[in-house]
Structure 1
Amino acid sequence: ESAVYTSAAFNSCCQVLGVTQSMGAVGTSADNAMAESFNATMKREVLRDRKVFANPLQCRQEVFRWCIRYNTRRRHSWCGQIPPDVFESRSTTLNKAA
């Protein structure tokens, strides 16, 4: 809960311990909501019910495979339930990446 980290009690505890607090504003590059959402989706869809992978290479390969699918074929609600690649190809305002 974010309110815990902005409370006076938590602030006092940080001061006693000599810890400098840092918190970004919503909508800034320091806002982690997008990254947290991406990571949660990846964990849910890649890990499913698995607890471990056979080896680190298999884990990296599955995460890479998922990232490719996430950006090229997976439908996203923010762009009308179409894959981001399709959305970008239809856009008249987005420039194609070189």
Structure 2
Amino acid sequence: MTCSLSFFKTLKMEEVYLKEYESFANTETNLGEFIEQVYNTKRLHSSLGYLPPAEFEAAYASVAGS
């Protein structure tokens, strides 16, 4: 459960509290972009050996495919 709480705290602090959203659709688009472009590709995760999820998955895929 700690991961979920940490994720939501990060989402609020780094995205939600910094923007004003015009509509629910705008909010949904911005949150999706944040998750895909920042959280999954740039932000380091201690549980993944301090790698971003996209990099961790790529490394795992290359090992599993060998």
TM-score, with structure 1 as normaliser: 0.50
Alpha-carbon separation, structure 2, partners of 1:49 and 1:66: 12
Rg (Cα) greater in structure: 1
Matches of 2:15 and 2:3, distance apart in 1: 18
Offset at residue 80 of structure 1 (A) = 4.3
Give the RMSD, CA atoms, in angstroms. Answer: 2.1
Give unmatched runs, 5+ long, in structure 2.
none
Give % identity. Answer: 21
Q: TM-score, length-normalised on structure 2?
A: 0.69
Larger helix proportion, structure 1 or 2? 2
**Equivalent pairs, count:** 61
Considering Cα pairs closer than 8 Å and 6+ residues apart, tell me whether 1 or 2 has the greater RCO: 2
Cα-to-partner distance string for 1:75-98 (whole Å, 9 max, x where unaligned) = 314234432221222233xx57xx
Match of 2:30 in 1: 62
Residue in structure 2 matched with residue 86 of structure 1 by the alignment:
55
Aligned to 2:7, what secondary structure does the other structure show?
helix
